[in-house]
Structure 1
Amino acid sequence: MKIKIGSLVAVNFYDNRGDNSKKHAIGRVMGVSNEPPEGCEGVSFQVKIIHPNTWEEGEIGVLEKDLMPLWHLESAMDLSTWHLHEIILHLARKVDRLKQATARQ
């Protein structure tokens, strides 16, 4: 899998700011990281995310294996100029509409 700079990705990461549990987020790849996460080997990237608990924007280092490209979203609409908050709200609205449509059936 080839990760490109600027790509929208789903991210799996461990939050070391509290309970150290696995978290999931949507982010944008900002560049290749010079330092992989502590205790890990492999290619890593700097990814700008919206933290799922605090809704704060920040950058984290993530191994390539913990990234899933969201090309299907990017090919469906031009998200290159959207801020992460806008993308997440748009996706949340889509999920709500799908749930409502399913509930009516």
Structure 2
Amino acid sequence: MRANDSAEKAPSSVASSLTAAQKKALIADERTTFARAFDSTNGSGSRDLIWAANYAYKDLGMSKEEVIELLERINDYWVSPMDEERFNNTIRNYIMRW
């Protein structure tokens, strides 16, 4: 797969055409919608959390607080979660600056 192929299938490319009901359904099925972040491998967790945050906030219309709660659930799902201090200093602070 080439980079262009994956970009064409990226959630952001179709989110603008989603109805409010479709966005609500995607948010409700977070394990599938954010599978990339839930299934993140060691070394790519921060990037995948930021991807999930951007998609949830910018494309699906979640609030900052909802996004942070989502990312906490994703982090807690991992076998080796990010420690709380690092999560707060990187992920949470980044989102709160939006």
Q: TM-score, normalised by structure 1?
A: 0.22
Higher helix share: 2
Q: TM-score, normalised by structure 2?
A: 0.23
